[in-house]
Structure 1
Amino acid sequence: MKAQHWYDAVVKCEQQGIAYVLATVMGAAGSVPRDQGSKMVITENSQYDTLGGGHLEYKVVQHAQQLLAENQVGNFIEHFPLGASLGQCCGGSVSVLFESFAVKGLNLTVFGAGHVAKALMSILSQMPGKVRWIDNREDMFPRQQYDNVQTILSDDPVAEMKTLPVNSQVLILTHNHQLDFDLVEHALKRGDLSYVGCIGSQTKAQRFQMRLQHKGFDEGTINNMICPVGDTSIPGKLPIEVAVSISAQLIQHLEQFKQAQPQRQGVSWQTIKQDLVKGKAVSSMPNKVE
C-alpha cells in the first residue's frame, strides 16, 4: 500500500501509460470501513490510497488485479457484504464501482540487451507505456534506469514469453540466432500477441520461415512475424538508426491497433441505481480486448 492520494496516482498512471483500476465505494449500508465516494487506485503491482483496509480491501485489490491480468477494460459494479465471509465484523455492505483502464501506449517486452536495444531504450523511455527488458546477462543492462522500463534478469527467456500480457508487443533482439528462433516460435504459438518483431536480415527471415513451416506453422501465422523489423523507409545500420526505424514501426502499429479496438462502454445510471438498491453483484460486461 502506498500513501499517494488516488488522484495523484491516476495522473501518474495516465502520464506513464500504466494500466490501472479506479475502485470507488458507490453505496454503503450499515457500519462500513470507509464512506461512500472513497476511492483507491490499483495497478499490477501497487495500490494507492485506501478503502479502509482489511479483507474487503484485499478482495477489491484481488478483483481489480484479475481484471488487469485478463486485459479487461470497462466499468462495472460488485457488491460486498461485510460479514463472516470477509472476516470483518462491521456488519454492513458495500457496493464498489470498478473502472478499468488499459495500458496507453506501449506494452512491450524486449528480449536482448545489446547495442540496438540500449539505443532503443533511450527512445522508448520517452514514450507512454510500459517496457519489460529481458536478458540473461546482468552486466549488459546499463546503470541508467528509466521510469517506464523494468529490467528482468532471466536464465530462461522462453519461459518469460509464456507470461506476457495478451495483446502486448514483443521485440526480439538477442545475440543468439537459436534463441531468437525459439522466442519467435513460442510467440507465434501463443497467437495472442499484437506485434512480434525480430531483428535480422532477409536471409535470416527466410530461414526462420522455412523452419517454422517444417514445424507445422501455417502461412498466416508465420506472416505475423515481422523480420527484418523496423520501418524500411528509414535507412542506416548504426544502432541508433536501427532503433529509430524500430520505434517508427512501433508507433505505426500502436496507432493501427488503437483504431481497431472497440469503444469503451460505461455503466448506465439505471444499472448503477438498480445495483445499489438491490445490493447485487450485477455488472456491465467489460470489454475484453481481443
Structure 2
Amino acid sequence: MSTPGLQRFDNIPETALDWHRAGKETGQKSGQKSGRGAALATVVETWGSAPRRTGSQLVVASDGRIEGSVSGGCVEGAVILAAQESIVSGRHQILEFGVSDEDAFAVGLACGGTIRILVEPIGGTLAEDTLADLVTARAERRAVAYVVDLDSGAGHLDADGYTDRKRMDQSGVEADGKTFVAVHNPPLRLIVVGAVHIAQALVPMARIAGYDPVIIDPRAAFASSERFPGETLTEDWPDEAMAQLAPDARTAVVLLTHDPKIDDPALEVALRSECFYIGALGSTRTHAKRVARMQEAGFDAATIDRINGPIGLDIGAAGPAEIAVSIIAEMTATLRGRSL
C-alpha cells in the first residue's frame, strides 16, 4: 500500500495548535514563563450567500502569518489586527462587520449583509488542552462539537450531543443567541474499488470536493503511481483492504471494475458498514445480477437498496469525466439528504 499520509481538506485547528506551541516555546526561550503564538478566528454568523460558510476559520500567528479564510478577503485585514490584539490580551473578541453592496460584489456576492466572527487566543480563552483534544479527535476520525459561550469565551468539547448539527455538518449559533457550536466531523473519505479510467477522473474531482481518496485494485497494472500520482493505493484484495479502512458514516464507496470477483467482496463489507454512499458501475441488467448475488449472500432488500446502481445521476454522461461528475453529484446529494 502506498500511504503518502492523510491529506486534509482543512487543517486549520492543527495549524493553530502547531503555531501556538511554537510561539510559546519561543517565548519561554526568551525568558517569558508563558506565551501565546496564535489565535483562531471563526465565522459564527453570516449573510446567506457568503463565500465562506459558518464555521470557516482563519488562524493568525503572532508573527503575522495567516492560514485559511473567513470572508474571501473583504474583512481579513481587520480580523488579523484583532487576532493579534487577542494574542497579547488573552481575551476573546466578537467582531461584526456590515458589508456594503459594493464590497460584497467585490468578493462575489450579489448583495451586502452582516458577518460575525469569533476571535479566540489559544492559551487564553481557548485553552490549549481543549484545542489539543480537538486535534486528537480529528486525527482519530471522531465527530465532536466545540461549544463556546460567546459572552464569556469559555469553550468545551461535546462528543455526544448536537447530533442533528453533526449529521447536517452545520455549525451555528443556538436559539439562545449566545452559544456557538462548531461541528468538527471526520474528513470525508472516498474508497474507489477499481483503478480504471473513470477513477482517474473521479479521484481529483473528489479531492477538490473535500474527500480523502483511497484506491483499491489487486491488479498492479491498474493500481500504479504513474496512473494515480500522489494518491493512496492498495493492491490488497478488496475485502481485506476494506476491513482495514473500516468505512464509517463519513465514507463513500464507489465500485468501478464490472468484475464481481473484485467488486462483490468490497460491496459486502460496504453493506455491513455505516458508509453514507455506495455506488456501483454497470447497466441495469448488470445491477440486477448484482442484486441477485447480494440476496444469495444473505442481505435483505432494504440493505441492498442502499446501492446506487447504475451509478451516478442521470445527466446523460458520456465519457469518464462526465461519469465522474455524475457520481460526485449523486454522492453530494446523498450526503446532504437530497432525493433526486
Could you say if the C-alpha distance between residues 124 and 247 of structure 1 is closer, same or farther in structure 2, counting changes exceeding 3 Å? same
1:58 CA drift (Å) = 11
Q: 1:157 aligns with which of 231, 238, 244?
A: 238
Superposition map of 1:76-155 within 5 A: 101-103=184-186, 106-140=188-222, 141=224, 143=226, 150-155=231-236
1:211 CA drift (Å) = 2.0
State whether structure 2 residue 273 is matched by structure 1 residue 174.
no
1:117 CA drift (Å) = 0.9
TM superposition score normalised by structure 2: 0.49
What value does the CA root-mean-square deviation take over the aligned residues? Answer: 4.2
Task: Report Cα offsets for 1:9-61 as digits up to 9, x if no partner.
Answer: xxx95xx3469666589xxxxx9985467679xxxxxxxx9x99xxxx99986
Contact 1:158 1:182 survives alignment (8 Å): yes
Contact 1:170 1:196 survives alignment (8 Å): yes
1:107 CA drift (Å) = 2.4
SS of corresponding position for 1:256: coil
| Percent identical residues | 24
Match of 2:271 in 1: 188
Could you say if the C-alpha distance between residues 175 and 207 of structure 1 is closer, same or farther in structure 2, counting changes exceeding 3 Å? closer
SS of corresponding position for 1:250: helix
Could you say if the C-alpha distance between residues 199 and 18 of structure 1 is closer, same or farther in structure 2, counting changes exceeding 3 Å? farther
Q: How many residues align?
A: 206
d(CA) in 2 for partners of 1:144, 1:214: 36
Match of 1:213 in 2: 295
Task: Report Cα offsets for 1:153-192 as digits up to 9, x if no partner.
Answer: 23232122222343311111135322211111110012x1
Q: Which moved more, 1:131-140 or 1:216-225?
A: 131-140
Match of 1:74 in 2: 145
Contact 1:188 1:222 survives alignment (8 Å): yes
1:196 CA drift (Å) = 0.7
d(CA) in 2 for partners of 1:59, 1:75: 9
d(CA) in 1 for partners of 2:272, 2:12: 25
Could you say if the C-alpha distance between residues 36 and 58 of structure 1 is closer, same or farther in structure 2, counting changes exceeding 3 Å? closer
d(CA) in 2 for partners of 1:226, 1:112: 16
Contact 1:71 1:166 survives alignment (8 Å): no
d(CA) in 2 for partners of 1:122, 1:161: 21
Could you say if the C-alpha distance between residues 67 and 118 of structure 1 is closer, same or farther in structure 2, counting changes exceeding 3 Å? closer
Q: 1:225 aligns with which of 299, 307, 310?
A: 307
Superposition map of 1:55-70 within 5 A: 64-70=135-141
1:109 CA drift (Å) = 1.5
Task: Report Cα offsets for 1:87-145 as digits up to 9, x if no partner.
Answer: xxxxxxxx9966762256x4211121111111223433432332222223444335376
Match of 1:254 in 2: 335
Superposition map of 1:16-55 within 5 A: 16-17=9-10, 35=35
Q: Which moved more, 1:207-216 or 1:61-70?
A: 61-70
d(CA) in 1 for partners of 2:315, 2:269: 29
d(CA) in 1 for partners of 2:241, 2:12: 20
Q: Which runs of 5+ in 1 are unaligned?
A: 1-11, 26-30, 41-48, 78-94, 260-290
d(CA) in 2 for partners of 1:220, 1:97: 39
Tell me which amino acid in the other structure corresponds to 1:183. Answer: A
SS of corresponding position for 1:116: helix
Task: Report Cα offsets for 1:214-248 as digits up to 9, x if no partner.
Answer: 22212111100111101123243x32332232222
Q: 2:316 aligns with which of 224, 227, 234?
A: 234
d(CA) in 2 for partners of 1:210, 1:119: 30
Tell me which amino acid in the other structure corresponds to 1:119. Answer: A
TM superposition score normalised by structure 1: 0.56
d(CA) in 1 for partners of 2:289, 2:281: 13
SS of corresponding position for 2:231: strand
d(CA) in 2 for partners of 1:254, 1:194: 7
